[in-house]
Structure 1
Amino acid sequence: MRILIIGAGVTGSLFASYLASSREKLERKLKENFELKILARNDTHKRLSENGLKIHHVVQNVTTIDSIPVIKTLESGDIYDYVFVFLRKTQIAPLMEDLRSNRSDHFIFAGNNGTGLDGLCPPLKVQKVSLAFAGVGGKREGDTVYSVHGKKPGITIGVNKKTARKIRKLGKIFTWAGCSLRKTNRMDAWLKHHLALVVPLSLALYRDGGDNVSLSENGDLLQKSLKAAKEGSAALRRQGHPVAPGKLKLTLLMPCVFLKSRVKKLLASPIGKLLIYDHCMTAREEMRELAGELQALVAPDDKPRENLEELLTQNN
């Protein structure tokens, strides 16, 4: 069993750590060798090669260091059972030729995406490609990744007839490694509704000067961002994109007064700073692109959405 993780940011690093630290258990369960590698470049490749993968698990208050083989390029003949792409959408394009020339069995793109597989890139020359999203957050400072996650870090992966068998096996691997894997046949819709939630909140944060505590105290702007999220989600539902069951659905359908109270507390907390503020401030280019995707997605809907349009206008 061979797994490659492309991208050593917060999310890729966390799952690499869990898989690497469970190698012996995975080999016993799988009854075969288990090999994990990370693809990273430039300073990240140097840091991981020299110092290992260092993660401070914030909620657990534990620091781990794992030694994981690191490669710089993906050769066409370097075949893996699963290739995870934990990159922002804006970072994928430079790697596309390498990905397209590779013949690994299953590629999984985990990250924000409002345009589906067709919008990611030219099609890969493989049959098994999945979209996914991981429910973790954090930041990197120096040689250390600060990760915010629950007891079992989770990832949601889209499944179809071509990928069902492979994802069932991957679910077992993640469970054995101490993670959780949820499957959905509505991954594309899930990601679109996730944009409806995070884009307005990010744009409100930028408008407020990039201060998460200040936004938590700016009741009018916070309320506007949450109303905008609901407007965007409603527009998507009217166009045939149902909200997939789970926490995202509960969040988007929650009455605004309760949602505002929860988001206000989260924004003002140290965990909220890591989950929301740090990503928004280091991913402005990605958020601008995602805002454009959301604007295009809701454009065909003819219902009024004044809060969302006001926030999206500032992105132009």
Structure 2
Amino acid sequence: MKILVYGSGVIGSYLAHVLCTAGNDVTMLARGRWKEKLEEQGLNIRHHLQHKTTLDHPRVIGDINEDDTYDAVFAVMPYHRINAILEPLARVRSPLVILVGNNMSPAAMQDSILEKSVCDKQVLFGFQATAGKRDHDKGMLICERAGAGAMDIGGLHSLPEKEVRDKLTGLFARTGYKLRWQPDMESYLICHLAAILPIGFLAYACQGDLTASTGKQRKFMRMASREAYAMLKAQGIPILPENDDRYYEPGVRGSLMQFLYFIMAKNKTIGDLVACEHCRNACEEMEMLNTAFEKIISRSPDFPMPNWRRLKGLMPDWETVRRQYADKVH
């Protein structure tokens, strides 16, 4: 199958690697210095937990060629940059466009793509739990992931037809990579912020280094997420993935989440790859996601969220965060 991966960060690059491994004809869209590295050296990924390095050679382009056709397009861009590629995605000739990543405007983005599309398209949304960073000097990506990887994927408020699900599942055949079909990706993406924003608050409070966090602060982090999930449920927003909120409640799952926080804090490499590197390099995205989530919170002004407010109060204001990390963005 002929696939375009629009975006060459950690998530897009790992996705391209898996699609290459499955035997697809993969094209990556990249720009600038990283495009040159990909053309010169190929897609070089160091898989941190797996202790291995892989090298793939997808085709690399810098812009959309409107004569090219693809069986599917995966657009992997930070939330604060994705609006800039909606028009190119509308121009690309493919029946499937999957927007991968944090997104608090999925309905508007879907409408924008479909309104200007040059062909019949279906827009889906996905989230891949992959983290890491670029090593520009070595021309290598360092990737942090669990197992072979997975993507939660679905339509705005529905599952795709079986034919579409089978087609996309086939793209990852024999790789171990899983597609987890979700019935309401708009709700999924909202729920995801209940989990990740408290991590960002604490990372910024600790000057981008979770090893400086205390056990008490990490407990605030889990309790803040618990409050956020409860607030969403009170508003009638489905919790997706189903029962994900139980990882923030008392019990075995809650203890597991607290232990994962402990690992992130005690192992600087893991903490950086999983959370802090993204917070340092995508503070604009984190601020936009926070602003969007605060609008949801404002619909329940009397809902008690003391741990959320306490944790967020530990970090600097967003203007200070932007100044602090402006020179680190690459």
Settle same-fold status: TM greater than 0.5: yes
113-122 or 279-288, larger mean C-alpha shift: 113-122
Q: What is the SS of the residue equivalent to 2:134?
A: strand
Partner of 2:135: 141
Q: What is the SS of the residue equivalent to 1:177?
A: coil
Residue among 204, 211, 214 paired with 2:212: 214
Residue type matched to 1:76 in 2?
E
Cα deviation for residue 311 of structure 1 reads 4.5
Partner of 2:166: 168
Residue type matched to 1:81 in 2?
D
Q: Kindly indicate whether residue 247 of structure 2 is the aligned counterpart of residue 251 of structure 1.
A: yes
Partner of 1:9: 9
Q: How does 1:1-316 map to 2 (within 5 A)?
A: 1-23=1-23, 34-118=24-108, 122-124=112-114, 125=117, 126-142=120-136, 143-159=139-155, 160=158, 162-215=160-213, 218-245=214-241, 248-255=244-251, 259-269=257-267, 270-301=269-300, 302-312=302-312, 315=317
Give the share of equivalent positions with the same residue, in percent: 28
The structure-2 alpha-carbon separation of the partners of 1:247 and 1:100, relative to structure 1 and needing over 3 Å to count, comes to same
Cα deviation for residue 128 of structure 1 reads 0.7
Matched-pair contact (CA < 8 Å) for 1:138–1:278:
yes
Matched-pair contact (CA < 8 Å) for 1:193–1:243:
yes
Q: What is the SS of the residue equivalent to 2:191?
A: helix
Matched-pair contact (CA < 8 Å) for 1:267–1:273:
no
Cα deviation for residue 315 of structure 1 reads 4.7
CA distance in structure 2 between the partners assigned to 1:167 and 1:182 by the alignment? 10
CA distance in structure 2 between the partners assigned to 1:153 and 1:262 by the alignment? 18
Q: What is the SS of the residue equivalent to 2:103?
A: coil
Cα deviation for residue 267 of structure 1 reads 2.5
Matched-pair contact (CA < 8 Å) for 1:295–1:312:
no
Residue type matched to 1:292 in 2?
T
The structure-2 alpha-carbon separation of the partners of 1:276 and 1:71, relative to structure 1 and needing over 3 Å to count, comes to same
Matched-pair contact (CA < 8 Å) for 1:79–1:105:
no
Cα deviation for residue 278 of structure 1 reads 1.4
Q: What is the SS of the residue equivalent to 2:132?
A: strand
Residue type matched to 2:36 in 1?
K
Matched-pair contact (CA < 8 Å) for 1:4–1:84:
yes
What is the root-mean-square deviation in Å for CA atoms of aligned residues?
Answer: 2.2
The structure-2 alpha-carbon separation of the partners of 1:203 and 1:43, relative to structure 1 and needing over 3 Å to count, comes to same
Matched-pair contact (CA < 8 Å) for 2:200–2:286:
yes
CA distance in structure 1 between the partners assigned to 2:26 and 2:78 by the alignment? 21
Residue type matched to 1:20 in 2?
C
233-242 or 255-264, larger mean C-alpha shift: 255-264
The structure-2 alpha-carbon separation of the partners of 1:121 and 1:7, relative to structure 1 and needing over 3 Å to count, comes to farther
CA distance in structure 2 between the partners assigned to 1:237 and 1:93 by the alignment? 29
Matched-pair contact (CA < 8 Å) for 2:86–2:109:
no
Unaligned 5+ runs, structure 2: 319-330
Matched-pair contact (CA < 8 Å) for 2:110–2:123:
no
CA distance in structure 2 between the partners assigned to 1:254 and 1:145 by the alignment? 37
Matched-pair contact (CA < 8 Å) for 2:223–2:248:
no
Cα deviation for residue 229 of structure 1 reads 1.2
Residue type matched to 2:221 in 1?
S
Matched-pair contact (CA < 8 Å) for 1:155–1:181:
yes
CA distance in structure 1 between the partners assigned to 2:66 and 2:161 by the alignment? 22
* Count of matched residue positions in the alignment of Structure 1 and Structure 2: 304
